[in-house]
Amino acid sequence: MVLVYAESPGGQFKKSAFEAVTYGKKVAGLLGTSCVAVVLGANASGAGELGRYGASRVVQVADAALDHFDSQVYAAVLSAAARELQAGVLILNHTSGGKSIAGRLAVRLQAGLVSGVNGLPVASGTELRVKKSVFSGKAVAEYAIVSPVKILSLTGNAVRPEAMGQPVAVEPLAVPVPAARVSVKSVKTIEGRVPLPEAEVVVSAGRGMKDPANWGIVEDLAAALEATTACSRPVADSEWRPHHEHVGQTGIAIRPNLYIAIGISGAIQHLAGVNNSKVIVVINKDPEAPFFKAADYGVVGDLFDVVPRLTEAVRKFKAAH
Amino acid sequence: MKILVCISQTPDTTAKISFTPDGASFNPAGVQFIMNPYDEWYALVRACEIREAGGGTVVALNVGPAANEVTIRKALAIGADEAVRIDADPSSAAFVAKQVAEYAKAENFDLIFLGKETIDYNGSEVGAMVAEHLDLPYISNASQLHLNGNAATLERDIEGGVEVLEVALPLVLSAAKGMAEQRIPNMRGIMMARSKPLKVVPPVALDEPVKTIGFTLPPAKAGVRLVDPEQMDELVRLLHEEAKVI
Ligand SMILES: Cc1cc2nc3c(=O)[nH]c(=O)nc-3n(C[C@H](O)[C@H](O)[C@H](O)COP(=O)(O)OP(=O)(O)OC[C@H]3O[C@@H](n4cnc5c(N)ncnc54)[C@H](O)[C@@H]3O)c2cc1C
């Protein structure tokens, strides 16, 4: 059986949970088995909806102690659930939560872990072979998990949530919940658009913007596309933009469907965080900018002319569609 | 305060990545190696700052062959007091975590630092594994750490925000941007590093649950399609009809 941990930070299921269940259902199909979703916490509501994405059963450990995140407690509960339900494959998201618990589960369950996968595995005898992007997108590695229990964590935006079933009744699951050692004091959320790791469209700008006061044209384009904004490292370092917008090797790695790079040269460390984007558009006045080599579409021109024109064109398109 | 900082050696950020002709392993020929940036800039520097403020010892640990000692000496030059090298090829996250935990379990560290991920295999796996082996709390992607005696207050980057949390030492944490500022080792540090102790420890065996089959390079992009800067309606049309992303 394939067990999917469907995360619900703050009691909410987000796209990541639907992606993981969709992926879990497909892995289960490959192995000729079923997909079960496990949900942690008392305040996670609407768990039955996970059935739509392919979970044939949804079990919930509805203990209020799980409403705050502690990797040690979560790993203890998930490994108990995996044993109780005799899971052969465990699937998590490669998110801040998943990264905190996947390694712990691997140790507890003596399981092989491949983290950050972006495609389906292939079964070969008792092994599971799976690929992932390594060297910050510069190569692809293939691994074989040979242990009886196998763990995969799924990169965000790698799989599209698909409706493949019906909502199901949520079954309670009783497993011991150890006391937490970490206490969460508060969660500060960044107001506004979809968080960068989850965003499908990202509008990003670099030093070519010249001055933080010029960002209005970037914001306008992002608003027209309902996109999230990002920036290059020097822009964040000089406090032109908040640090959470910094993408690249030392910032956040993202894989949106569409990445629009404005006035960014395309240094290798910048590309490391964005080269898994499905489609890249580069706007730069220098035809020799390295970013054009990694781009699908390019516009050679002055961003101060091109970006407002693109925004106009997007608005016209959105109004007509 | 006894602090362990796990440091990994990775190819330089600009290195051209290639593999042996059979695709089985990484080809190190002509590659410049560096200390993994998250380990160096954030984990190691914050560990040194904590020692400078409150006293104690910072131990830098690397699982790797003798050739890695250049990187280990750099950690000593930046400020670690002593170093340990587990003499083995860091073949997988599970293997490295096992070595770190085996070494740390007899040493009673108050803090065990790692970087949030390595820039080669991008796994973010080792920290959680070490914490589980040692039955310690683990805070991943920590961007702030403040200590008040035995009590630690941390900030952890999560999707779309920051979590503020409290936990008592000992603990394991992985460091992200915000934790500290990069330090360039000075001449005095480099000189002192030469005489700081570097202990070599044999590895313990592990039955590997994951085997590496091999590596390939991602398919090359088809090439950029240039759109006239006056024709932004055309770009939008392409993004809608051809690329299907809007
Ligand atoms: C270890 C390490 C890690 C790093 N990590 C990261 C990282 O995570 N993320 C990151 O982004 N960088 C990172 N860097 C920095 C990286 O090497 C580059 O310096 C940085 O990405 C450059 O930012 P930029 O493209 O905004 O600026 P620049 O390189 O200065 O490029 C500005 C671009 O704007 C164009 N331009 C200027 N004016 C206009 C105009 N009017 N119209 C159109 N185009 C215009 C220029 O032609 C140029 O291509 C890292 C570096 C190191 C050494």
- Using a cut of 0.90, tell me whether the model's pTM lies above it: yes
- The residues facing A189 across adjacent strands are B161
For the segment A3-18, what is each residue's pLDDT rounded down to a tens digit?
A: 999 999 989 999 999 9
Question: Could you tell me if A48 and A118 lie in one domain?
Answer: yes
Question: Could you tell me if A153 and A212 lie in one domain?
Answer: no
Please state, rounded to an integer, the average pLDDT across all residues of chain A: 96
CB distance from B148 to chain A under 8 Å? no
Contact list in B for residue A297 (CB cut-off 8 A) is: 224-227, 235, 238-239, 243
From CA B208, how far away is CA B126, in angstroms rounded?
14
Question: Could you tell me if A103 and A236 lie in one domain?
Answer: no
CB-nearest partner of A310 from B163, B218, B235: B235
Residue A264 belongs to a domain: yes
Q: What are phi and psi of A31, to 5 degrees?
A: -95, 0
Peptide bond into B170 cis (omega under 30): yes
Range A45-53 average pLDDT: 96
Q: State what percent of residues in chain A have pLDDT above 90.
A: 94
Residue A204 belongs to a domain: yes
Residue B74 belongs to a domain: yes
Read off the amino acid at residue A213: A
Cα(first)–Cα(last) distance of chain B, in Å? 54
CB distance from B224 to chain A under 8 Å? yes
**Helices and strands: H and E segment counts in chain B:** 7, 13
Confidence of residue A24 (pLDDT cuts 50, 70, 90): very high
Q: Where is pLDDT greater, at B2 or A252?
A: B2
From CA A253, how far away is CA B123, in angstroms rounded?
13
Q: How many domains does chain B have?
A: 1
Q: Chain A interface, mutation test: which of B155, B163, B230, B244, most A Cβ atoms within 10 Å? A: B163
Residue B108 belongs to a domain: yes
Q: Is the pLDDT of residue A192 over 80?
A: no
Phi-psi label, residue B244: left if phi above 0, alpha if psi -120 to 50, beta otherwise? left
Q: How many domains does chain A have?
A: 2
CATH number at residue A316: 3.40.50.1220
CATH number at residue B11: 3.40.50.620
Please state, rounded to an integer, the average pLDDT across all residues of chain B: 96
What chain B residue is nearest to A106 in terms of C-alpha separation?
B129
CB distance from A99 to chain B under 8 Å? yes
Q: DSSP letter string over A83-146?
A: HHTT-SEEEEESSHHHHHHHHHHHHHTT-EEEEEE-S--EEETTEEEEEEEETTTTEEEEEEE-
* Other CB atoms within 10 A of residue A215 CB: 17
Question: Could you tell me if A60 and A28 lie in one domain?
Answer: yes
- pLDDT value at position A265? 98
Residue B112 belongs to a domain: yes
From CA B139, how far away is CA A144, in angstroms rounded?
29
CB distance from A300 to chain B under 8 Å? yes
Residue whose C-alpha is closest to residue A266's, from A242, A298, A236, A241: A298
- pLDDT value at position A120? 98
Residue A78 belongs to a domain: yes
Q: Is the pLDDT of residue A256 over 90?
A: yes
- pLDDT value at position A282? 98
Q: Nearest-CA distance from A190 to chain B in Å? A: 5
For the segment A200-219, what is each residue's pLDDT rounded down to a tens digit?
A: 999 999 999 999 999 999 99
Cβ atoms of B60 and B72 within 8 Å: the answer is: yes
Contact B216 A106 (CB under 8 A): no
Question: Could you tell me if A24 and A162 lie in one domain?
Answer: yes
From CA A312, how far away is CA A231, in angstroms rounded?
22
CB-nearest partner of A297 from B19, B125, B225: B225
Question: Could you tell me if A235 and A109 lie in one domain?
Answer: no
- As a whole number of Å, the CA-based R_g of chain A is 21
- pLDDT value at position B216? 96
Contact A137 B119 (CB under 8 A): no
CB distance from A319 to chain B under 8 Å? no
Q: What Å distances lie between residue B216 and A131, A137, B7, B14, CA to CA?
A: 10, 11, 26, 18
Q: Is the pLDDT of residue A191 over 90?
A: no
Give distance in angstroms: CA of B39 to centre of ligand 1: 23
Domain that holds residue A155: 2-172
Residue ranges around ligand 1 (CB below 6 Å): A 206-208, 232-235, 248-251, 263-265, 267, 269-270, 273, 284-286, 289, 302-304; B 13, 37
- pLDDT value at position B66? 98
CB distance from A71 to chain B under 8 Å? yes
- pLDDT value at position B24? 94
Q: Nearest-CA distance from A164 to chain B in Å? A: 23
Burial classification of residue B23, based on how many CB atoms lie within 10 Å of its CB (0-12 exposed, 13-18 middle, 19 or more buried): middle
What residues of chain B, 25 to 64, have a C-beta less than 8 Å from chain A?
37-38, 41
Give distance in angstroms: CA of A234 to centre of ligand 1: 7
Query: Which residues does A256 contact at the CB level (< 8 Å), separation at least 6?
Result: A157, A199, A200, A201, A202, A277, A278
Give distance in angstroms: CA of A268 to centre of ligand 1: 9
- pLDDT value at position B220? 83
Residue A179 belongs to a domain: no
Question: Could you tell me if A18 and A162 lie in one domain?
Answer: yes
CB pairs under 8 A between A and B: 273
Ligand 1 atom 37, closest CA: A208
For the segment B180-215, what is each residue's pLDDT rounded down to a tens digit?
A: 999 999 999 999 999 999 999 999 999 999 999 999
- Tokens 């073949």 belong to B91
Domain that holds residue B34: 2-213
Question: Could you tell me if A31 and A131 lie in one domain?
Answer: yes
Residue A191 belongs to a domain: no
CB distance from B74 to chain A under 8 Å? no
Give the residue, out of A202, A210, A250, with the most ligand 1 atoms within 8 A of its beta carbon, to mutate for a pocket test.
Answer: A250
- pLDDT value at position B221? 83
Q: Nearest-CA distance from A210 to chain B in Å? A: 20
From CA A307, how far away is CA A309, in angstroms rounded?
5
Residue B240 belongs to a domain: no
CB distance from B14 to chain A under 8 Å? yes
Contact list in A for residue B167 (CB cut-off 8 A) is: 181-183
From CA A211, how far away is CA A222, in angstroms rounded?
18
E strand or H helix at B214: strand B210-216
Ligand 1 atom 25, closest CA: A264
CATH number at residue A56: 3.40.50.620
CB distance from A226 to chain B under 8 Å? no
ipTM, interface predicted TM-score of the complex: 0.96
Q: Is the pLDDT of residue B219 over 90?
A: no
For the segment A60-113, what is each residue's pLDDT rounded down to a tens digit?
A: 999 999 999 999 999 999 999 999 999 999 999 999 999 999 999 999 999 999
- pLDDT value at position A190? 82
Contact list in B for residue A116 (CB cut-off 8 A) is: 122-124
Residue A40 belongs to a domain: yes
- pLDDT value at position B94? 98
Residue A124 belongs to a domain: yes
Q: Is the pLDDT of residue B5 over 80?
A: yes
Residue A184 belongs to a domain: no
Q: Nearest-CA distance from A246 to chain B in Å? A: 10
From CA A59, how far away is CA A48, in angstroms rounded?
9
Question: Could you tell me if A7 and A133 lie in one domain?
Answer: yes
Give distance in angstroms: CA of A211 to centre of ligand 1: 14
Question: Could you tell me if A243 and A136 lie in one domain?
Answer: no
Question: Could you tell me if A51 and A146 lie in one domain?
Answer: yes
Contact B246 A225 (CB under 8 A): yes
* Other CB atoms within 10 A of residue A259 CB: 29
Q: Is the pLDDT of residue B142 over 90?
A: yes
Contact list in A for residue B164 (CB cut-off 8 A) is: 184-188
Question: Could you tell me if A116 and A33 lie in one domain?
Answer: yes
- pLDDT value at position A193? 80
Q: Chain A interface, mutation test: which of B235, B237, B241, most A Cβ atoms within 10 Å? A: B235
What chain B residue is nearest to A191 in terms of C-alpha separation?
B160
Q: Is the pLDDT of residue A158 over 90?
A: yes
CB distance from A17 to chain B under 8 Å? no
Query: Which residues does B108 contact at the CB level (< 8 Å), separation at least 6?
Result: B2, B170
